[in-house]
């Protein structure tokens, strides 16, 4: 079960991928938010066998949608319509700030934020599942 994490921004979109078992998130890329974005995302999904896409839900401190959420929801709707993947939202509150705090500013900060969003989703899912040992 491979997962894709997305930190959607007006100018850049951070991308993260999970390992094959869907247990750990890793920064993958930062893509420009341009006319080629959807094509690149669809290629990543099909090329990596993605089953679930986790998109950061942009809300303010009062848990109300930020203005960009309208674009994020349209983006999510297009993915659901065009591909056979589950699309879910995960709160992204302070993910970019958290990534910058731990790693400093760098070119892959949006991908790091996407991995924080994806790992948050994975961790919540782990809590809901019974423990399975590899031994």
Q: What is the distance between the alpha carbons of residues 31 and 110, in angstroms, rounded to a whole number? A: 9
Q: φ, ψ for residue 118 (rounded to 5)?
A: -65, -45
Q: What is the model's pTM?
A: 0.84
Q: What pLDDT digit, counting tens, does each position of 15-42 carry?
A: 999 999 999 999 999 999 999 999 999 9
Sign of CA dihedral 94, 30, 69, 2: negative
Bridge-partner residues for 128, per DSSP?
A: none
Burial degree of 69 (CB within 10 A; 0-12, 13-18, 19+): middle
Sign of CA dihedral 9, 14, 20, 24: negative
Task: Tell me what pLDDT residue 135 has.
Answer: 47
Task: Tell me what pLDDT residue 126 has.
Answer: 79
**Class of the domain covering 2-126:** alpha beta
Q: What pLDDT digit, counting tens, does each position of 74-131 carry?
A: 999 999 999 989 999 998 765 554 555 455 565 678 899 999 999 999 998 877 765 5
Task: Tell me what pLDDT residue 76 has.
Answer: 96
């Amino acid at each position: 079960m491979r997962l894709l994490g997305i930190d959607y921004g007006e100018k850049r979109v951070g991308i993260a991928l999970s390992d094959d078992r869907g247990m750990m998130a890793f920064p993958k890329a930062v893509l420009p938010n341009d006319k080629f974005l959807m094509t690149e995302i669809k290629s990543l999904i099909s090329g990596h066998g993605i089953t679930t896409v986790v998109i950061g839900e942009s809300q303010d401190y009062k848990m109300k949608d930020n203005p960009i959420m309208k674009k994020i929801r349209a983006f999510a709707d297009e993915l659901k319509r065009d591909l056979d993947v589950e699309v879910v939202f995960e709160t992204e509150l302070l993910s970019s700030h958290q990534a910058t705090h731990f790693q400093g500013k760098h070119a892959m900060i949006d991908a790091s934020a996407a991995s924080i969003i994806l790992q948050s989703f994975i961790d919540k899912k782990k809590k809901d599942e019974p423990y399975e040992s590899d031994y």
